[in-house]
Structure 1
């Protein structure tokens, strides 16, 4: 949990309290007040956003190289479209991800590699190939997932989908309090992961906007995100070009960039730590500015009216 403290009359300083901890993934460490940027690279032919732009191996490697150049701290590799679509077997998911992860590790030895999968068998194989984080967007639907992440020394994302099974769309989801439900589910999964051997400092919780939620519920999660960050677990936010932004602004996926930056900025201000995005440069600039506004970073240069 984090607090804002005042020094003097004008400066706002971001002060971590004792519940905050450093997030350690691979060779990287991200302290309280630091924002980590996760670039999305889908090894799927049917992604809702890029429609297969990085399905081909060389195109995917080029996307990784570009994301690193533009300021990404992590890359998130997905071998199966998150939502409803053509079935993808475990063997096919392995074909799309394992060798690719090994190739990224060779090209970028210090890069934090995340793999978006709900299958423990895939988690074990990509972890052995060099993945540092397992992004389980389907909330532990495979009960062996925490043990798999622990076995390969990977971190784990604990998410919330309201009880849905993998790759199913929400329909008339109802909660007495969606934020309370998200907190209860993700923190329970996080504590279970620790009990099964996953490092506490490698665990994130994700409210998982749109998964098991309608637009109103995803908006509520965004405006009350500080309640999640108050749990002390680092929060990952994956709002990039999501449907709740599109429905709010009445815009298709390719025109949701400005809305995405607005949602990211609010999430950063409320204490989120890791941000999964399609547009790395825009997100990097927004997060760098939020870090300065919160007092956890300094401006790149301050010359105006000082000379």
Structure 2
């Protein structure tokens, strides 16, 4: 009898756990085809340039990318790489992009804080001077640093794209607080806010309002600036930022595989030659 009671209790806990998990399970991100997927994939430079523009004109007002330097933009495989400038610090376009941004510094003579044009050696500046300012400007929430967001979130660029296009009105029966926004792709627990019928809806709520809108960014190459296009391009840019040397890694891996195949052939040929007259 005791065993039966324990089994029933365990079953009840398992059902409760399954119910809670179902309530917090977000919608699966849309699966897109990316140029950089697979062992031979490469970043689309035009797409990276558009993605950088989306980040700079929209995302950078709230999100930092503290691990990315302006010079990275001109490195091989980057948005503004130019083979004429193997040293990205010499790339004039990268220099011009950096100079348009003001960064904080200290006057070497007076010791006073100053603002100066950025150089290719500077990292992308934070939009807020400190954590308290970031919380104060965003309803108590700290916008995450986007340097490695593509690696830090399950689904990577697919998740980022889906989140950006996924803002919809909350379903009837879901009560959310002012300043919060429902997104079925965002992980969260909506159980306490759900008063409707049926299952708790997928997704969660986040403080970030929908950041993109049609034609919010004008692309220099004439690409139509829809929300889906902006989302796809900035997702690709963030994937590059999380692994800017991806193309070099793949090239090295391919060269290593070719080397190992040749070495295997030589070793086998040597084996056959050395032991050809020896009875086995």
State TM-score, norm by structure 2: 0.24
Higher relative contact order (CA 8 A, sep 6+): 2
| Higher-strand-fraction structure | 1
| Higher-helix-fraction structure | 2
Decide which structure has the larger Cα Rg and report it: 2
